[in-house]
Structures are given as structure tokens and as C-alpha cells.
Amino acid sequence: MTVTIFGATGTVGRQLVKQALFKGYKVIAFGRNVFTTDFPKDDNLELLQGALFDEEQVYDAVKGSNAVLSAIGGAFDGTDKARSLGMKNIINQMDKAGVERIVALGGMGILNADDGTLLIDGENYPQQYVPVGLEHKKAYEHLKASNLDWTFVCSPDIINADATGEFVVNADYPPTPNKYKINAGDLALFMVNELEKNEFIKLRVGISN
């Protein structure tokens, strides 16, 4: 399998690269700073420097891949549109290239509350997470409107730690129990495995250690 990874230089992205290579995948790591990031040495790893908003560069990154993993990050104040507009460009270029499968990283606020509304719309949702949550919401809306086989992983606070293999998931709602945190390694482990398992096609996923 050939996998293109967006956001490859971030905390989760580096874990995605490591775990995809461990599975024997050919990995295309895309980003602005891929040549200055300490990736593992591996013949199956191709570094592709480019900008997320550049249509031609993103098309070249996904062309010929079997699937896409996205761990796009950025500022939390809502001024960084990488999560929403970047996702829109990825979707458009995947359509052009005939690539159908994507597992993307979002935030917990896009999961359903018990009343069926989104957590981010609740009165008690932490206000400091609203701006970035709205970016995740737009990314989710782009995925939902697409023809792709998408999975949107809506994570709580991400801890910079390796995989333990011990985590819980739930479709469209927060998992039980919910500790409101997840190791970056476990997040990547779930995302890479979901490429093969396909248990959450066109679904959001709540996850917690």
C-alpha cells in the first residue's frame, strides 16, 4: 500500500510515518519542513516538500497513492485555515487523482452530544477550543459533502507519547470511559489500522486512552 501523509512533520504526523513504515507501506510524507524533520531512514519513505494550499503540489502528492492520512495542525485561535481549506484542497485533488480513502484528524468538539447536537455547540464547551473547533467543523463538512470513503478521528487533548495499544473508540460520540486525552502514538496506531480495517467509513470517531 502507498499512503500519502499530510501534516507529516507534526506530533501525530511523525507517529503516522513511523507506524505506516513499520507496516511496510510506501509512505509519501508531505509538508513544508519534511527535509528538516528527523524521520527514520527507510527506503519506503519519500519526502515531498510542498504547500497545502497549492493544488498542483497536493495533486502530485496523492497521485498514485492508495490512501491518505491527514494530521493537519496549526494555530488554535482560528486564524489558521489549514485545517478547513487544506482539507478542501486535499479532497479536490483526491477526486482528480481517483484516490478514495482518507483517515483524517479532527477535534472532539465535532462529536455528537447526548441530545444529538455537536459538543462544540453546547453551553459548557470550553471557549478556548471554539475557534479551532470551528475549523475542524468546516473540515468535517467538506468530508461529509465529498464522495470519499472518509473517517474523521475527533481527538481530545493529544499527549506527545508513543503507542500503548490501550485505548477506546466510539462512532460519532465520545467513548466510554473518556479520559479526555490520547497518546499521539495511539492516535496514529488507530488511524493506520483503520486504513485496512475500514470499520468507520463515513463516520466520526471518538477516542481516548
**Overall average pLDDT of the 123-130 stretch:** 88
d(CA 66, CA 96): 14
**Overall average pLDDT of the 137-151 stretch:** 97
Take residue 59 and report the three cell numbers written for it.
495533486
Banded model confidence at residue 82, pLDDT cuts 50, 70, 90: confident
Residue 54 identity (one-letter amino acid): D
- Cβ neighbours of residue 172 closer than 8 Å, sequence gap 6 or more: 111, 112, 203, 204, 205, 206
Q: How many domains does the chain have?
A: 1
**What per-residue confidence (pLDDT) applies to 112?**
97
**What per-residue confidence (pLDDT) applies to 101?**
98
- Which helix H or strand E contains 207, and what residues bound it? strand 203-208
The pTM of the full predicted model, rounded to 2 decimals, is 0.96
**What per-residue confidence (pLDDT) applies to 124?**
87
d(CA 48, CA 45): 10
Reply yes or no on whether the pLDDT at 167 is more than 80. Answer: yes
Residue 4 identity (one-letter amino acid): T
Give pLDDT tens digits for 85-103: 999 999 999 999 999 999 9
**What per-residue confidence (pLDDT) applies to 144?**
97
**Overall average pLDDT of the 115-137 stretch:** 91
Residue 18: name the closest of 42, 1, 36, 34 by CA: 42
Length of the chain, in residues? 209
Top pLDDT among 80 and 50 is at 50
Residue 84 identity (one-letter amino acid): S
Reply yes or no on whether the pLDDT at 79 is more than 80. Answer: no
Reply yes or no on whether the pLDDT at 129 is more than 80. Answer: yes
Residue 4: name the closest of 50, 33, 46 by CA: 46
Banded model confidence at residue 25, pLDDT cuts 50, 70, 90: very high
Banded model confidence at residue 123, pLDDT cuts 50, 70, 90: confident
Query: Residue 49 is part of which domain span?
Result: 2-208
Percent of the chain past pLDDT 90, that is, above it, reads 88
CB 189 within 8 A of CB 165: yes
Give pLDDT tens digits for 44-71: 999 999 999 999 999 999 999 999 999 9
Residue 184 identity (one-letter amino acid): A
CATH code, domain with 18: 3.40.50.720
Alpha carbon 158 to chain centroid, angstroms:
12
Reply yes or no on whether the pLDDT at 153 is more than 80. Answer: yes
